[in-house]
Structures are given as C-alpha cells and as structure tokens.
A and B are shown apart, each in its own frame.
Chain A
Amino acid sequence: MTAYTPTHVGTVTKYVIVESFEITPADLAVRGYEIAEGAMIKETCFGLVINGKEEEVDRIIAELRKADPDHIFVKDRGFPPGDARRCRANLGGARPGYHGIEHEMTVIPYVSYGLEQIKKRDASAIPHPENPREQPVLAIEKLKKLMEAQES
C-alpha cells in the first residue's frame, strides 16, 4: 500500500444548492465569485461547491443565502471540489450520494414552502407532524362506522 498525503487539510467544503424561481445556480456563482476572496467556488448543476477556511466559507454562504433564504440550502461535503475520487467521469456513474440528493430535491419544494409559511403563521397554530414511531390509534367513531358497514 502506498502512503497517502491529503490535500486541502484544514479546509471545509460545502454545497450550496438552489431550488428557486428567482435565482439560478449561475446567478449565485457570479455573486459568489465577487465575494470569494480566495475561496474556491465551483458551479454544479445543483448550485455551487465552495471550499476554503471554515470562517471564509461560512461568510460567503451567509451572504449568498440572502439572495433567496428559503430556497437556498447548504450541506457539508467530505471531498474538495473536483476530486477525482468522486468525479462522475472517473467512476463511470454518479457516486451513490448523488441519488440521495436527487431524492431530497423532490421534497425540497415542500421544505421551502414550510420555511416561508412559518414566518407568516402563528407557530402554536401549526400542528406537530405525526410521530412515525407511534401507531396511529383508530378513533372509536371510525371503528363504530367500520363495524356498522360490516354488519349491513
């Protein structure tokens, strides 16, 4: 086995993902380049990948989020931008994690809607979502109706 010497040590990489009618990944990239100050910014089909010192990356992201806060999402990435080990061109197919993001992108519009709405609504009026671990109890009324339907 050969020795491994890491690159980009001490930096962080984050995805900035855009799901918006107002702003495109390209718009966001232009804004990113303006304020990059040395951080590495790469445009992807979902949005941007930003690499640099953590404070730098966070500063840029905080700024970018302002463009459309409810439609811009951020996630850590293990690899620096363009790393050959994760590159689709080298692997032949997408890395498995890509499909996970693909899946969440189908849900994200609901999350964006949620982010918009919680600012407009009274928090105490929003019901808590069902706990998936608790079996829904059959209401007595419903049970009675079912029994009646069965008998008739």
Chain B
Amino acid sequence: MTPPVRIAQISCGPDYAGVQAEINAAAQEVNGEIFFPDIALKDIRRDFDSFGLDVKSPDLKLAIARAKALVDGRVDADAVFIATCFRCAEAAIVRNELRRYIHENSKLPVVSYSFTERTTSGTLLTRMEALTTIARRRALLARETQSGITLGLDSGSATTKAVVMKDNQIIGTGWEPTTEVLKSANSVIEHALAEAGITMKEIEAIGTTGYGRFLVGKELNADLIQEELTVNSKGAVYLADRQHGPATVIDIGGMDNKAIAVMDGIPGTFTMGGICAGASGRFLEMTAKRLGVDITELGPLAMKGMGVHVPMNSYCIVFGTQSLVNALAAGSSREDVAAAACHSVAEQVFEQQLQEVDIKEPVIMVGGTSLIEGLVHAMGELLQTKIVVPHHSQYIGSVGSALLASGFIKDE
C-alpha cells in the first residue's frame, strides 16, 4: 500500500464543534493522514508577530505560526487543510489570508473549509480526495495530450455525460439527465460509442468522475475514478488550450459549485459550495420552466433583458423563484426575469465562492451552465473580464476523465 498523503491541518475550533473525527474520517477514506505541524511557543510568538495579522484568538495565532512553519519548510507536508468555524469573522480573515499565503509561497495544495456542527465526512470527502490526488498524482495530472482510445464518463447530480476520445480528438459524445445512475451511464456511453463508430472492446482505458463515479467506475471496471475538482480543472485548461500558467475555473453545477485556481493545469486552491440551491444550475432550470422555455433558450433570452429591472432579494431557490413569479405578475418582461435569474446565480457564486480563490485570468467557465450565455455574461460583468467558454464545455468532466485515463493505457 502506498504511504498515506500527509495533510497538515491548520484550524481553529473543529474539536470543539465536534467535527474533528469527521475530518479524520474523510482523510482516511482517501488514504490521507491528518497531522498538526509541531512548533514551539517561541515559534508561535515570532511567527505570529512577523505575519502581522493581529488576531485575538490564541488558536488562530497558532494557525498562523503553523502555516509559516509549512511555508518555511520547517515541517514537511504533502497538502494543507485549513478549517475554521462557519460564521466567525476573525477566523474567516485568517483562513483566507493563510490560504493565499500558502498558495503563493509554496507548492502545497490547499483547501479551506468553514464547518458547522453538521459538517460530515461525506461533505469533506471530495475536497480531501482532490487534495490527496494533487499531492499524489502530480505526474498523472501533468498529462497534456490524450492518446489511444479512451472513454470518459461524468455521472453528475443533474446530468450524465460521456465522451469517447481518440488521438487527442473528441469523436463521440452522449448527454442526458441523470435518472438511475447506471442506466443513464449506459445510455450515454452507447450514444457516444455509436457517434464515434467504436465498440466498447476497442476502448483502451476508462475514467469516471462526478457524484456517481464510484458506482459507475466499479461497474465499468474503470482505470481512473476521480473527483471532479481535479478532473474538471484538467479538462478546462485542456479544452481552452491554456495548459500553462495560471487560470481560474468556474463550474456552476446542478448541486454544487466549484471555483478552482489552477497553475499549469493543477489545482492550487479550490472551493466547493453547495449549501444553497439558489446558487446552482437547478435554479436556472426552474426559472426556464417557469418562463416556459427550454433551458437552452434561457441564455439567449437573458441576453436581451436587463436584470436590474427585476427585484431579486433572496438567495433561496424557493423565495428566489417567488420573486420571479411576482416580477412576471407585476409586468416584468420574460427577458428581464431571465437576466435577473442569471445575475442572481452569478452574484451568489461571486460572493460565496470566488472570494476564496484568487482570480487569475483566463477565467474559464465549464459545465452545462456555461452554455447559458446570460450566466456567462453576468459572471463576466461581475469579474470585469472576458470569460472563456471552451468547446464541449458541458462535457468537461468526461473530457478530463478521458484525457487522464489515457495515462493508464498499458503500452504507454
């Protein structure tokens, strides 16, 4: 068995919130090992003073000193997990600054998280998996071209996607809403293979990602079963042809959103949010339904409208939809309502997620929602940049999986 990935925990509060065991469990599940950087009191005093962030909580002072020990190389680690209490302003400032400090001054992958007493190991699993993958599989993640014939499958919460690739080209795709995980997977694979004119026997390697990755991966005997944070980052820079240098990947999904700061195709820091459905693709789906248009028509509709004309004061999917209904009843145009919905989602992702990563251009939007032109436009306005949406962006997870899976072809 490979030695566990050593994850340095920098935190304030998890053992008092009752969630330390959950953090340990999530790490163990992906063969990670949580440890606390060992430092002495004199290091704490010196490093806290020199860092210059004058917080009052002693455990945050300790966190700062531990981060400095990691960056200075006085303590060895493979990855860093920063965790503080949700709703603590003092800790949020420290969490953000330490995340940035470690990211800018070391090669250690970092994930930060704010927990409540309800945080479970399941919530943390994808983040821990990404963290250990980045630490353990740098060589695999360095792959820049696809070779041979590979299949990538993305079993998402809302949709299932498949892609067949051959010699660095996408030759077949399949897409459908997720109903039964395996049934949907088989159906999209069939479609992708038919389009590619390839049989399953000819496939040399398979990669799976998304919520259903373990189930589908086991069924298909996949070579690579990988969470979507690393896979999507890889897929995004590959499709956008930005494999070198910095990039920011935004994926607004059906159930959660990801914001990933990437360097040379490898995630450095990332956040994953999923508490509120009002900031998800689901909300846009509901809006489209309410407006009586297909989700594919929502984007063009929004481009014709002005979101500011519609009062949207709620971030909740239920109350947000209510605002839209009210606006329509009060005579707002469908175009304005569509634009307001797009703006609302973009703004929430901007406020809740993008503050936790350093936005560096190019900003690449991927996933099914990246096809909603109005959403991309709203995000571009908020970030004051031209957003890149690569071709096949809705297949991002499948493409990333197919690309990375080619590293497992036996003859390679």
Name B's interface SS.
Answer: mixed
Residue of A nearest to B69 (CB): A93
Complex interface: chain A residues within 8 A of B41 (CB): 99, 102-103
A86 to chain B, nearest CB (A): 11
- The distance in angstroms between the C-alpha atoms of A65 and B8, with both chains bound, is 40
Do B36 and A93 touch across chains, with their CB atoms under 8 A apart?
yes
Q: Are A92 and B36 in contact (CB under 8 A)?
A: yes
Most buried by A among B34, B40, B41: B41
Report whether B62 and A99 are in contact in the complex, using a CB–CB cutoff of 8 Å: yes
CB contacts (< 8 Å) of B59 on chain A: these are 96
Q: What 9 A-B pairs are tightest by C-beta distance, nearest first?
A: A92-B35, A93-B38, A93-B36, A102-B41, A92-B36, A99-B41, A91-B36, A93-B37, A103-B41
**In the complex, chain B residues whose CB is within 8 Å of the CB of A94:** 36, 38
A81-93 interface code vs B (CB 8 A; 1 in, 0 out): 0000000100111
What residues on A are CB-neighbors of B66 within 8 Å? 93
B302 to chain A, nearest CB (A): 46
Contact with A along B10-39 (1 / 0, CB 8 A): 000000000000000000000000111111
B126 → chain A, closest Cβ, in Å?
21
B62 with A96: CB separation less than 8 A: yes
- The answer to whether A92 touches B44, judged by C-beta atoms less than 8 angstroms apart, is no
Q: Quote the shortest CB–CB distance from B7 to chain A (angstroms).
A: 10
User: B118 to chain A: closest CB distance in Å?
Assistant: 13
Q: Nearest Cβ in chain B — how far from A118, in angstroms?
A: 28
Which residues from chain A contact B8 at a C-beta distance below 8 Å? 92
- Chain B residues, CB < 8 A from A103: 41
Q: Nearest chain-B residue to A103 (Cβ)? A: B41
Given contacts A88-B38, A92-B34, A99-B40, 12 further A-B contacts (CB under 8 A): A91-B35, A91-B36, A92-B8, A92-B36, A93-B35, A93-B39, A94-B38, A96-B62, A99-B41, A99-B44, A99-B62, A102-B41
| Nearest neighbor of B59 in chain A, beta-carbon distance | A96
**What residues of B have a CB within 8 angstroms of the CB of A88 in the complex?**
38
Residues of A near B36 (CB, < 8 A) are 91-94
For B35, the chain A residues whose CB sits under 8 A away are 91-93
Assembly CA distance A88 to B38 (angstroms)? 9
Q: Which residue of B lies closest to A98 (CB)?
A: B41
A-B contact pairs, 23 of them (CB 8 A): A88-B38, A91-B35, A91-B36, A92-B34, A92-B35, A92-B36, A92-B37, A92-B38, A93-B35, A93-B36, A93-B37, A93-B38, A93-B39, A93-B66, A93-B75, A94-B38, A96-B59, A99-B40, A99-B41, A99-B62, A102-B40, A102-B41, A103-B41
Cα A99 to Cα B36 with chains together (Å): 13
With a cutoff of 8 Å between Cβ atoms, the chain A residues found around residue B40 in the complex are 99, 102
A146 to B98, CA, bound (A): 44
> How far apart sit A64 and B339, CA to CA, in the bound complex (Å)?
77
Please, how many angstroms separate the alpha-carbon atoms of A93 and B75 in the complex?
10
Contacts of B38 in A (CB 8 A): 88, 92-94
The complex places the Cα of A99 from the Cα of B59 at a distance, in Å, of 11
Q: Nearest chain A CB to B99's CB is how many angstroms away?
A: 20
Instruction: Give Cα A126–Cα B41 distance, bound, in whole angstroms.
Output: 32
In the bound assembly, the distance between CA atoms of A94 and B75 in angstroms comes to: 13
Complex CA–CA separation, A103 to B61 (angstroms): 14
A88 to B40, alpha carbons, bound, how many Å? Answer: 13
A69 to chain B, nearest CB (A): 27
B63-75 to A contact mask, C-beta < 8 Å, 1/0: 0001000000001
- Distance (whole angstroms) from the CB of B3 to the closest CB of chain A: 14
Nearest-CB residue, chain B, relative to A101: B41
Instruction: Return the CB mask of A10-24 against B: 1 if under 8 Å, else 0.
Output: 000000000000000
* Separation of A69 and B8 alpha carbons in the complex (Å): 41
Q: Once bound together, how far apart are the Cα atoms of A144 and B41, in whole Å?
A: 43
A42 vs B380: C-alpha distance in the bound complex, in angstroms? 63
Q: Bound state CA distance, A99 and B37, in angstroms?
A: 13
- Closest A residue to B8 by beta carbon equals A92
Interface residues of B in 66-97 (CB under 8 A from A): 66, 75
Q: What is the distance, in angstroms, from B26's C-beta to the closest C-beta of chain A?
A: 14
**In the complex, A102→B40 CA distance in Å?**
8
CB nearest to A94 among chain B residues: B38
Complex: chain A residue closest to B39, CB-CB: A93
Across the two chains, which residue of chain B brings its CB closest to A106? Answer: B41
How far apart are the CA atoms of A102 and B66 in the complex, in Å?
17
Q: Mark B37-49, 1 if CB is under 8 A from A, else 0.
A: 1111100100000
Select from chain B the residue with minimum beta-carbon distance to A99.
Answer: B41
Shortest distance in angstroms between A4's beta carbon and chain B's nearest beta carbon? Answer: 10
A96–B58 CA distance with the chains assembled, in angstroms: 10
B80 to chain A, nearest CB (A): 13
The CA-CA distance from A81 to B73 in the complex, in Å, is: 32
Report the bound CA distance from A96 to B39 in whole Å.
10
**Shortest Cβ distance from B65 into A: residue:** A99
Q: How far is the CA of A92 from the CA of B9 in the complex (A)?
A: 10
**Complex formed: what's the CA distance from A94 to B62 in Å?**
11
Determine the chain B residues whose CB is within 8 A of the CB of A93 once the complex forms.
35-39, 66, 75
